[in-house]
Amino acid sequence: MTRTPFVVANWKMNGNTQANLAWIESAKPQLHAGHYRCDIAVCAPALYLTQLVDGFKNTAVMVGAQNCASYEEGAYTGEISAAMLADVDCDLVILGHSERRTLFGDTDELVAEKAKLAFSHAVMPILCVGETLEEREAGRTIEVVTRQLRAVLDVTGIMPFVAGAIAYEPVWAIGTGKSATPADAQAVHAALRAELAAYNADASQKVRILYGGSVKPGNARELFEQPDIDGALVGGAALKSSDFLGICDHANALTE
Ligand code: PGA
Residue having the nearest C-alpha atom to atom 2 of ligand 1: 235
Q: Which of 99, 113, 131, 169 is catalytic?
A: 169
- CA 238 vs CA 11, 51, 103, 136: distances in Å: 7, 17, 22, 26
Average pLDDT over residues 222-239: 98
Q: What is the pLDDT of residues 17-66, one digit of tens each?
A: 999 999 999 999 999 878 899 999 999 999 999 999 999 998 999 999 99
| pLDDT score for 1 | 45
- Which of 181, 169, 182, 186 minimizes the C-alpha distance to 235? 169
- Which of 221, 97, 226, 228 minimizes the C-alpha distance to 170? 97
**Angle at the Cα of 169 from the Cα atoms of 91 and 118, rounded to 5 degrees:** 25
* Inter-helix orientation angle 241-253/217-224, to 10°: 20
Cα separation of 120 and 83, whole Å?
Answer: 9
In the reported structure, the alpha carbon of residue 237 is separated from the centroid of ligand 1 by a whole-number distance in angstroms of 8
In the reported structure, the alpha carbon of residue 75 is separated from the centroid of ligand 1 by a whole-number distance in angstroms of 32
pLDDT band with cut points at 50, 70 and 90 for residue 135: very high
Given a cut of 90, whether residue 179 has pLDDT beyond it is no
pTM over 0.85: yes
First to last CA, the chain: 10
DSSP per residue, 11-60: --S---HHHHHHHHHHHHHHHBTTS-SSEEEEE--GGGHHHHHHHTTTBS
- CA 218 vs CA 26, 177, 223: distances in Å: 21, 12, 10
Sign of the four-CA dihedral 252, 168, 93, 43: negative
Average pLDDT over residues 229-256: 96
Average pLDDT over residues 155-180: 95
165-168/231-234 β-pairing: unpaired
For the CA of 238, the closest atom of ligand 1 is 3
DSSP per residue, 112-132: HHHHHHHHHTTPEEEEEE---
Residue having the nearest C-alpha atom to atom 3 of ligand 1: 235
Q: What residues flank ligand 1, with Cβ below 6 Å?
A: 10, 169, 174-175, 212-215, 233-237
pLDDT, the chain, mean: 96
Q: Which residues are paired to 204 by β-bridges?
A: none
Catalytic-residue membership of 97: yes
Mention the CATH class of domain 6-253. Answer: alpha beta
